[in-house]
Amino acid sequence: MSNSRRRAILLDEKAVRAARRSFLAFYLYQYPELTPSWHHKAICREYQALVGDRQRLAISMPPGHAKSFLTNLFCAWQLGRDPETRIITSSYSDRLVRHNCKNIREILETPSFQRVFPLVAIDHNDTLTSKEFHIRGARGYLLAEPAGGQITGFRADLLVVDDPYKGMKQARSNTYNADIKEWFDGTFRSRGHSDTKELVIHTRWTMDDLIGWLMEREGASWSNIVLTAIKEGTDDEYKKDPRSIGDALWPEMVDIDTLEERQLHNASIFFALYQQKPAPPGGEIIKTKWTENRYTTLPSSFDQIIQSWDLRNGGKGSNTSYAVGQLWGKKGPNAYLIDQVRDRWDFPQTLTILTNKLNDPMWGQASVILIEDKADGRTAIPLLKKRFSGIHPVNPSGSKEERCSATTAYWSTGNVILPSNAPWLSAYISETTRFPGAANDDQIDATTQALEHLFQASTFSWVIV
C-alpha cells in the first residue's frame, strides 16, 4: 500500500470518528461537496447542544435557508449515534412529512452514513411506511405526522416541529392557531416524558404563532435562536452572529439586493418572514403601511436640517439601552430621515460620536441639535454648549405612547419619508411598528422628538404688513 493511500485511509478514519461525535463533522462528511455557511455551522452547534444538557430549542429563521435540510440531517445523525432514540417529527402537511421522512430514510441508506454508523440500519421487516420506519435490533424509530394530526401508541425521546404553518393565511387564522397550540399541548407534547428533547423551528409569521406563544408562556425554559435575513445588531438576534450590520444571512442563496427588493414590496411580510419580527396586524401605534414611503434620492436642498439624539443611561454593556442619533431634513410638508447612528456607547464614546457628527460635512449642516435632557444627555448638553451652537435640550412631556401618538398624523398622511436602502432600516421599522411592544424604544424616541420639532415649528409663520 502506498503512503498516499495509507494517509487517505487514516484521514478518512479520523473524519469518521469525528462524525460520530460531532453533528457538524457529520454534515461535512455526509456532504463533502457542500460548503456550509456560518449559519449552517451555528445551527449544527445548537443541535449538538440539544443532545447534551439542553432540553428545549426554538429557532426562528427565514424561508429558503436550509432549515428542513439541517433538521432532517440532524434526525438521521441522532438515530445513528443512538439507535434507541424515538423521534416524532411534524410539519404543516401530510405531503411535507412524507417528504421529510423519505429524506431521513435515504440518508440512513447512504454509503457515507453506513461508514460512520455501520451497525445502524432500517428494519425492513418491521413497519415501514412513507411516514414511519424503525431501526433494526433497537427500539429507535422515526414517525412523521402532520401538525394537528393524531399520534397514538408512540412515545418520543425527541419531538421535532418543523414549519407548522403553510402560509400567512393559515398563520393569521385564529382558529388554526388555537388548534395548533391545543394539539401541541394535548397531543404532541403528551408523547414525551420528563427527559424528552423538544425542537421547534419555523419562520415567524405572527406575534402569536407557535414560537411566539411558547416564548411568551414558557420562554425561560427554551433556548431561543433568532436568525435574521439582514443583520440588525439588536438584542434579540443570535448573539454569535459574526456579520456586520446590513449583511445578508446567506448571500450565496439570497443576496442583499434581493432582500431589499422584497422589503420594499411588502414591509410587514418581510419583517415577519425574513427578520423574525412580526408586528401586530398593521402595526401598533405607527402602522406598517405608513413606513412604506421611501426615497431613493434626497431633495437637492432642505428648508431645515436637524439632529435628534436620545442618549442612554449608564455604562457600556450588552444588556443596557442604546444611544441613537438621527439626521432629519424637512422640505415643504415632508420630513426625511437622512441618516442614523446607534450603539451602546459609554459616555466618553457618546461624547466623541456627538462631536464627530457635529463636525461631519453632512451632519454639520444641522441648524438645531435636539438632545433629550435626561440620562447621559444631561451631562453632555453643558459640555457641548461650550463648543457648538444650536444645542437644544428637550424635556419631553407626557408618556412615550402619548408623544408617539401625537405624530401619527404626519405618518398617516405620508409626510414621513424613509430611505429605501440603509443598513439600519430593518431594525428601525421593526421597533417603530412594534412600539410600545418592542424591546427597545430609543429610535422611536429620537424620531418623535424630531417630528415634534419639525412639524410643530412649521405651524408658525411670519406675516409682513
Domain membership flag for residue 27: no
Same domain, residue pair 221 and 283: no
The predicted pLDDT at position 282 comes to 63
* pTM > 0.85: no
Q: Rounded mean pLDDT of the chain?
A: 90
Q: Is residue 273 part of a domain?
A: no
What is the predicted pLDDT for the residue at 3?
A: 64
Task: Enter the DSSP assignment of 372.
Answer: E
Average pLDDT over residues 373-385: 84
In a domain, residue 93? The reply is yes
Q: Which domain holds residue 111?
A: 35-227
The yes-or-no verdict on residue 459 having pLDDT over 90 is no
Grade residue 41 by pLDDT with cuts at 50, 70 and 90: very high
- Do 302 and 424 belong to one domain? yes
Check pLDDT > 50 for residue 372.
yes
220 and 287 share a domain?
no
Least confident of 118-122, 169-173, 278-282: 278-282
* 424 pLDDT above the threshold of 60: yes
Mean pLDDT throughout 259-272? 83
Identify whether residues 107 and 188 lie together within a single domain: yes
**Do 451 and 310 belong to one domain?**
yes
Q: Are residues 123 and 48 in the same domain?
A: yes
- Residue that wins the pLDDT comparison between 316 and 347: 347
Residue 261 vs residue 91, higher pLDDT: 91
What's the domain count of the chain? 2
In a domain, 100, yes or no: yes
212 and 330 within one domain: no
The pLDDT-based confidence of 149 (bands split at 50, 70, 90) is: confident
pLDDT recorded at residue 379: 84
Residue of 437 and 131 predicted with greater confidence: 131
Domain end marker among 211, 227, 243: 227
Cα–Cα distances (Å) from 295 to 235, 299, 399, in that order, read: 28, 9, 31
Instruction: State mean pLDDT over 356-363.
Output: 91
Proportion of the chain above pLDDT 90, given as a percent: 66
Which pLDDT does position 95 carry in this prediction? Answer: 95
Mean pLDDT of 262-281: 83
For the domain that residue 163 is a member of, what is the CATH number? Answer: 3.40.50.300
> Per the structure block, which three cell numbers stand in for 404?
408617539
Average pLDDT score over residue span 160-179:
91
145 within some domain: yes
Whether residue 171 sits in one domain with residue 71 = yes
**Cβ 140 vs Cβ 134: under 8 Å:** yes
CB atoms within 10 A of CB 310: 30
What mean pLDDT do residues 287-313 have?
A: 92
Residue 255, domain member (yes or no): no
Which of 227, 247, 270 represents a domain boundary (last residue)? 227
Q: Is residue 133 part of a domain?
A: yes
Question: Are 219 and 77 found together in one domain?
Answer: yes
DSSP, res 309 = E
Are 132 and 144 contacting, i.e. CB atoms less than 8 angstroms apart?
Answer: yes
**What is the C-alpha separation between 358 and 144, in angstroms, rounded?**
61
Neighbours of 254 (CB within 10 A): 18
Asked whether residue 334 falls in the same domain as residue 211, the answer is no
State the CATH number of the domain containing residue 436. 3.30.420.240
Please check whether residue 12 lies inside any domain of the structure. no
**Which of 227, 242, 259 is a domain's end point?**
227
